[in-house]
Amino acid sequence: MSSNLMSCVQVRMNEGVHYIELNNPATKNSLDLEMASGLLHAVREANQDSSCFAIVFLSTARAFFSTGPSLQELIELSTCPEGSELLSEVVEKLNEIILEIYESPKLTVAAFHGYAYGGGFNLLLACDYRIAEEKTKFIESFHYMGFTPDLSASYFLPRYIGLTRSMELLLTGRMFTAREVADWGLFHQVVEKRAVMLEQVETLCRQVSQGEGRNLKRMKELLRSSYCSTLEEHLDKERRYLIDCLKYPEITNRLKNISNLSLNN
């Protein structure tokens, strides 16, 4: 992997957690091809690491998470004969990142602060857990830029906050803060300060690490497939996955530990 890709995305590992940090202050973490390639490499590497159980997305800059697409690059693409092909190349790579996150067998966490505009926010809507500093600013200005929504915005927003609120955000293109939408279901947590947010992320990762990591992928699959399965189909899948858990020799000790905790309370 080239040094340029490594420089725009930093990865640090700590106790089974891959912290993937956007790190291109010159472009305010714009979602260009370099950033997309770096992120895709980092996510794939984390997904393939058997010692990793969680992936956390952050920005190294305190003032911003991501400015989304570069407006100047979009202007240039709009006047370039190859503009459609070049834009498609970037979007396809960003879509690969979304699918890697959505299908990840790991816990995936997005921690937003500063501002995350358009695609800089939508790229990580697929994360299992989303937390934001209350002052973080967001905007979905596709309509006024002349584009239709992309990077999963029209898929996840209606599922998280409903069609009515999604339509309002996309039609008006207004700026909103995490504090304003704290009770909408867009975020699992909205906290006062960035330092508190980072502490909460570490606490979450510690809690999840205590469970059976091999079940995480199937747990996510069960929740998501419930929308497109009949009750009978879903009950059967739950049964099969539940029985499979007995194949893990560690389950006996887990059950004993829970039993001891219950007796002591």
Look at residue 256 in the predicted model and tell me its pLDDT: 87
pLDDT digits (tens, 9 = 90+) for 87-141: 999 999 999 999 999 999 999 999 999 999 999 999 999 999 999 999 999 999 9
Percentage of residues of the chain with pLDDT beyond 90: 88
Check whether 5 has a pLDDT greater than 80. Answer: no
Q: Residue 207 pLDDT more than 90?
A: yes
Structure token pair of residue 209 = 């690490």
Backbone angles phi, psi at 70, to 5 degrees: -80, 120
Mean pLDDT of the chain: 93
- Rounded to the nearest 10 degrees, how much is the dihedral formed by the CA atoms of 94, 26, 179, 192? 120
pTM: 0.92
Q: Is 265 helix (H, G, I), strand (E, B) or coil?
A: coil
What pLDDT does 2 receive? Answer: 45
The 10s digit of each residue's pLDDT in 221-235 is 999 999 999 999 999
